Amino acid sequence: MKRDIVIAATGELREHSQPKAPTLDELQKLVGGYIQQVSHWTKHDGLKADVWCDDDGKVNDKPFNRRATTMWYAALGQTVGDHLVGDVVIVTSVPKVKEA
């Protein structure tokens, strides 16, 4: 089971689970353009993650995504001379529930 979390440029979080990872077309719809993997952001909530943003977001003057940028810096353990714009998508696996 996969979980994808959309961090909207407004700061809103939208989350949903599905049996498989989102397709390229689904990811492009979620970010609103061609996708680019966010460099060095490989974990979310302790789980392996793939994080995607709009490859042309800055060129197309998409709004600054403060929440996603702050989360990216936290994942890196430092700030960098870059920031994220537009909607950002985190894809992780849903942890299995241990049965008693």
Task: Map out the domains of the chain as residue ranges.
Answer: 2-93
* Tens-digit pLDDT profile for residues 6-53: 999 999 999 989 899 899 999 999 999 999 999 999 999 889 999 999
CA-CA distance, 45 to 68, in Å (whole number)?
A: 14
Residue 74 near residue 52, CB atoms below 8 Å: no
Q: How confident is the model at residue 91 (pLDDT cuts 50, 70, 90)?
A: very high
pTM of the prediction? 0.90
Task: Write the single-letter amino acid at 68.
Answer: A
- Secondary structure letter of residue 64 according to DSSP: B
pLDDT at 1: 85
- Secondary structure letter of residue 72 according to DSSP: H
pLDDT at 99: 63
CA-CA distance, 33 to 55, in Å (whole number)?
A: 7
pLDDT at residue 97 is higher than 90: no
Strands 35-37 and 88-93: unpaired
pLDDT at 53: 98
Residues above pLDDT 70, as percent of the chain: 94
pLDDT at residue 98 is higher than 90: no
Q: Which tokens belong to 76?
A: 């890196």
